[in-house]
Structure 1
Amino acid sequence: MRPLPFAAPFHAPLPPRDANASAGDEAAPFGNLPEWDLSDLYASPDAPELKRDLDWLEDACARFAEDFEGKLAELDAEGFLDCVLRNERIQAVSGRIMSYAGLRYYQLTTAGDRVKFMSDMQDKLTNFTTPLVFFTLEINRLPDDHLNGLFDENAELARYKPIFDRIRAMKPYQLSDELEKFLHDLGVVGDAWEKLFDETIAGLTFMIDGEELGIEGTLTLLTDHDRSKREAAARELAAVLGENIRTFSRVHNTTAKEKEVIDRWRGMPNPQTGRHLSNHVEPEVVEALRNAVVDAYPRLSHRYYELKRKWLGLDRMQVWDRNAPLPTEEPKLVNWDEAQKTVMEAYAGFSPRMAEIAEPFFDKGWIDAGVKPGKAPGAFAHPTVTDVHPYVMLNYLGKPRDVMTLAHELGHGVHQVLAAGQGEMLSSTPLTLAETASVFGEMLTFRAMLSKAETKEQKKTLLAGKVEDMINTVVRQIAFYDFECKLHEARRHGELTPEDINALWMSVQAESLGPAFDFMEGYETYWAYVPHFVHSPFYVYAYAFGDGLVNALYAVYEEAPEGFQEKYFEMLKAGGSKHHKELLAPFGLDASDPAFWDKGLSMIEGFIDELEAMED
């Protein structure tokens, strides 16, 4: 998933049409934009294969509970492996069902039949899998020496040890069997609040210069060359978010309170603990990252935006100037074929194997690229299940930065394809490492484009764009993380009014963006449309983690390219089977070393140094 930096580069939506229609002439400015073919999952919501899988899943879950509940401690290594493999098969089938329901929903979040279908699937799978809650609970009651003994007896079982390590990391925060089953069933309520957020965002309309736009079209105007259009979009965005702020405030209050209650019952020391555990990363590593970035604000964002203020010829920067193109940057629409060629050539320049893995995404309906009314905003790559393939969602609008978004999401896709060999339980990568291939794909594409720059102004435009992307990925996401920390801490002490949340948002903005900016009235509501805060609390620091990690990796690649590709592919193939220390060791890197983050941030500083040198 690409971070929403404040406003991702978007464009006006295409005319209304069915989400599964062919691109046709409507997409002419960008070429023939691909759309998903979800038939590799299921042909339709009433496909007999879907009913078959639902029936199998219901029976498999019941038999799993009957065969293993209360008996894990009695299993020998062979029996325990059988239990694990059956659990993995259940995960694969349920994952296929929910991938299909979710992807179909994100294509058109405002369609009632798609909303109902996804909700019905969530309800069914929750009911089917409730009897399986015992599995992790019983695993955490097994003595360490007993479990380690089973691993010693069976090498195939030992391959799953990283999964058990993560499960057992939750041991101190585990509740009774009855409460765990209750929380499992209650999960559909939290999902409903997430759907309310998605549907509200997708249904917003904005009137700008007499034209009705969705949020995609409005946000893309924040990158327009015409400053008056940027201002109009920024003010209309603030106005519409302000009109809906009580709904967004209710969603955030409810989801944060739900998390606070669950965390309190589990005895988690702070709201971030659950995310750190799921990311398999130590709190002190995240804190070192956060502190390194905050300390670097003056050397990164403050310094860059002061440069940009001068380039734009402004006394003061306004929020609608942050993602403005440079005055020397020529307005350009990049058609889809050119975007594909740019990214694929960059991938092939690193390794033909990388391009070979990426090719089917373009040829086989694995990408949904067009902007359509009701389609979810932003971009992501969803791995689905390991016996199918990933799907990439974009909202492609022909901007040069959209090329970078394609490179980013395609990097995720390549990573997910490579990791699939680990199987359903071990392929999933912690968020902190999940951004590695995506950010690396962006860096490859940027470097390839930079090498082709023919003039000083072209190089300046590319460097500035990359610096802005890195600031959005590192500085902005750490500011978002600080906002979330403040939000969840404040919610522990009572209900938050919209004004309370607005104030928390503004408390991190001036610090991160720097003294070059003024903040218009209404900007305080811009927290409301960031989906990560609702869907994945504290997800955002993973972007900064990934960017810093990739900057350090790329420095290693530049210093010693011989043999790097093979080590890189091995890292991606590992999926979630190794800890970040083990994955980075072959490159001589260690994320637990505070100097590691300075190494990554120094690359951004170096780019800003180059831009400053161009002023001389």
Structure 2
Amino acid sequence: MSYPMRWDLDALFRGGSESSEFKQFLGETDAYIQKWIERDQSGLSVQALVPVLETLRARQRHAGAFVSCLVAQNVKDKQAALLNERIQEQSVQAQVLQLSLEDKLRQLSDEEFQALLETEELKPSAFMLETSRSRAQDKLDVEKENLATALAKDGYHAWGTVYNEAVGRMEIPFEEDGETKRLSAGQLHNRLSSTERDVRKRAFEASKAAWSSEGPLFAQTLNHLAGFRLKLYEARGWENVLKEPLDSNLITEATLNTMWETITKNKPKLMPYMEKKAELFGLDTLDFFDVAAPLPVKDGERSTVPYEEACELIITHFKKFSPKMADFAEMALRDGWVEAENRPGKRPGGFCTNFPLAGESRIFMTYDGSMSNVATLAHELGHAYHSWCLKDQNVQSQKQYPMSIAETASTFAEMIVADALVEEADSNSMKTMLLENKLSRSLAFFMNIHARFLFETRFYEERKNGMVPQERLNELMEEAQREAYEEKIASYDPNFWASKLHFHITGQPFYNFPYTFGYLFSLGIYGRALKSEQSFEEAYIALLEDSGSMTAEALAMKHLDVDLTKPDFWQEAIDVVLGDAEEFVKK
């Protein structure tokens, strides 16, 4: 079967950024918003506002997904950038209705609110109403919140746009095949996964030079993003900078702290793995650019997988766990849901975005054949399957799940493929290489992402006292990396705060710990699937179907019977990784 490497966006809106269909769609959304914001808000009931907001959520998610695809596939698409501005403006206007709803909910007594939730038409939106009412208690009055949202478009979100456009323009010189090539940030990043250490080292040095050169601009974008957030938090009376990310991820600080504490306690048990990897590289100690690198390939063994073979491989291994997930993956890969072509002009990284009105998703990445790329493809297909399982839910709010749970489905899919590859390796050296690839991704969740979390937490505390200069950002980043890796690597990347898009995303502060949460949560689910004597497929689907309708703690208690504020579950999940590490060291 043939699997295209370029996605099909015309099936959603024909014509790309010049699409007349899409412009009509945006115009209809504009008209719908105006119809309702021009109404006297005091005269609108909760029952009237809820279906309007559910409709708008679906339309805005659909439009936003399309534009994010346009921008990602061609960072120089100026028309796509303009469309993004228009969508942000619609979001500002729609927020008037959301804040109106929150204000009405805030004014209800507990008894009145409970009676409202019992009405038949609002039952599908009950969880959204509960979270909206809870969040409303800690916000400013409606007029001030509306003003903050309006100012954010050209203040807060604009800095994220500046960062994205600057990264998109970057052309980094890199010596390769006897010539100097000018690579995008995404293409250079792929060189860091090379099996050749010299290539990785040169790519690392080229990357450091490029991001350091752009550092003054990116120090501005990061400081102003954080400054906007902190001023808004201060006005609302929020002292804890984690309040917003915890709320949006639907987890408690107790759960987050328990997770990090359990990881930190177990880090020393991973050091023998890192030492063994250094030994296989012929090194005393790993450098930063070695930590996630694949092991050298022996003569006669390959280090890359052609795209179509990777697609077949993923489908085959999904099927052993879940025929439904395998059928879904085959459809998505066959029908042009994936943009994988390795070409210049694309943004770095990978993502999956959902089109709720079509019941489809689109996956973005740059595939170069590495084992890491195979894992990324499986990861993003896991995201897409999650959305697929929710497509028939009654309302849009039930289809939207927090990032913490989103990363569960993706890493679960990744684990299925990683384990299968290790088990089916046809030589001991290949098995060792694949096992190490699996472990290196685990290490990223435990150490690299922990470093991001430590950096961002400390940066925000310093930013409360004023602008944090580039040099200090570098110091904070290296300090965080040293702590997260427990001083066990030979070099660090002080410019990582500039090169990592996640620090500059405006839609989600602290875009780091949900990855680790989702990874360990998925390991816990995966462990239960392996132990289950019956098919785990339906139980897994049931968990995904509930993911937009309850907190992470409630989801874990209902489907796994575990308390996430206690270390037991986290230790059980980490033990899976420690078992892999012990096996690797023995080889």
Q: TM above 0.5, one fold?
A: yes
Greater displacement, 53-62 / 218-227: 53-62
Q: 1:57 to 1:151 in 2, by over 3 A?
A: same
Taking structure 1 as the reference length, the TM-score comes to: 0.89
Question: In the alignment, does 2:141 pair up with 1:168?
Answer: no
* 1:421–1:573 contact (8 Å) kept in structure 2: no
Distance 1:571 1:454 in 2: 35
5+ residue gaps in structure 1? Answer: 1-30
SS in 2 for 1:117: helix
The residue type paired with residue 489 of structure 1 is E
* Offset, 1:578: 2.2
For 2:382, the equivalent position in structure 1 comes to 411
Aligned counterpart for 2:274 among listed residues 305, 320, 323: 305
* 2:543–2:559 contact (8 Å) kept in structure 1: no
* Offset, 1:549: 0.8
Distance 1:435 1:475 in 2: 17
Q: 1:204 to 1:306 in 2, by over 3 A?
A: same
* 1:386–1:421 contact (8 Å) kept in structure 2: no
Question: In the alignment, does 2:333 pair up with 1:362?
Answer: yes
Q: 1:207 to 1:67 in 2, by over 3 A?
A: closer
Matches within 5 A, 1:318-397: 318-329=287-298, 330-397=301-368
Distance 1:571 1:38 in 2: 30
For 2:562, the equivalent position in structure 1 comes to 589
* Offset, 1:48: 4.6
Distance 2:186 2:18 in 1: 32
Taking structure 2 as the reference length, the TM-score comes to: 0.93
Question: In the alignment, does 2:162 pair up with 1:196?
Answer: yes
Q: 1:497 to 1:233 in 2, by over 3 A?
A: same
Aligned counterpart for 2:55 among listed residues 89, 92, 114: 89
* 1:61–1:132 contact (8 Å) kept in structure 2: no
Aligned counterpart for 2:519 among listed residues 532, 547, 550: 547
* 1:299–1:605 contact (8 Å) kept in structure 2: yes
Aligned counterpart for 1:158 among listed residues 93, 99, 123: 123
For 2:580, the equivalent position in structure 1 comes to 607
RMSD of the TM alignment (CA)?
Answer: 2.0
Distance 1:121 1:558 in 2: 44
Aligned counterpart for 1:53 among listed residues 6, 22, 25: 25
* Offset, 1:444: 0.7
* 1:268–1:274 contact (8 Å) kept in structure 2: no
| Aligned-residue identity in percent | 24
* 1:450–1:462 contact (8 Å) kept in structure 2: yes
Q: 1:236 to 1:331 in 2, by over 3 A?
A: farther
Distance 2:39 2:165 in 1: 41
Number of residue-to-residue matches in the alignment:
574
The residue type paired with residue 613 of structure 1 is K
Question: In the alignment, does 2:470 pair up with 1:504?
Answer: no
Question: In the alignment, does 2:197 pair up with 1:227?
Answer: yes
* 1:206–1:215 contact (8 Å) kept in structure 2: yes
Q: 1:387 to 1:493 in 2, by over 3 A?
A: same
* Offset, 1:115: 1.6
Distance 1:498 1:388 in 2: 44
* Offset, 1:132: 5.0
Question: In the alignment, does 2:135 pair up with 1:181?
Answer: no
SS in 1 for 2:296: coil
The residue type paired with residue 346 of structure 2 is K
The residue type paired with residue 127 of structure 2 is P
Greater displacement, 581-590 / 466-475: 581-590
SS in 1 for 2:397: coil
State the structure with bigger RCO (CA 8 A, min sep 6), 1 or 2. 1
Greater displacement, 467-476 / 46-55: 46-55
Matches within 5 A, 1:192-271: 192-209=158-175, 210-271=180-241
Matches within 5 A, 1:419-568: 419-422=390-393, 423-519=395-491, 523-535=493-505, 536-568=508-540
Aligned counterpart for 2:67 among listed residues 95, 101, 104: 101
**1:158-208: CA deviations, max 9, x gaps?**
231111121122133211111111112122122221111112122222222
The residue type paired with residue 188 of structure 1 is K
The residue type paired with residue 134 of structure 1 is S
Distance 2:127 2:96 in 1: 24
Q: 1:472 to 1:284 in 2, by over 3 A?
A: same
* 2:172–2:185 contact (8 Å) kept in structure 1: yes
Question: In the alignment, does 2:108 pair up with 1:142?
Answer: yes
Distance 1:211 1:387 in 2: 40
Distance 1:277 1:191 in 2: 20
* Offset, 1:227: 2.0
The residue type paired with residue 287 of structure 2 is Q
Greater displacement, 223-232 / 464-473: 223-232
Distance 1:456 1:493 in 2: 55
* Offset, 1:328: 4.6
Greater displacement, 327-336 / 387-396: 327-336
SS in 1 for 2:363: strand
The residue type paired with residue 432 of structure 1 is S
Distance 2:22 2:191 in 1: 42
* Offset, 1:116: 2.1
5+ residue gaps in structure 2? Answer: none
The residue type paired with residue 392 of structure 1 is I
The residue type paired with residue 587 of structure 1 is L
SS in 1 for 2:10: helix
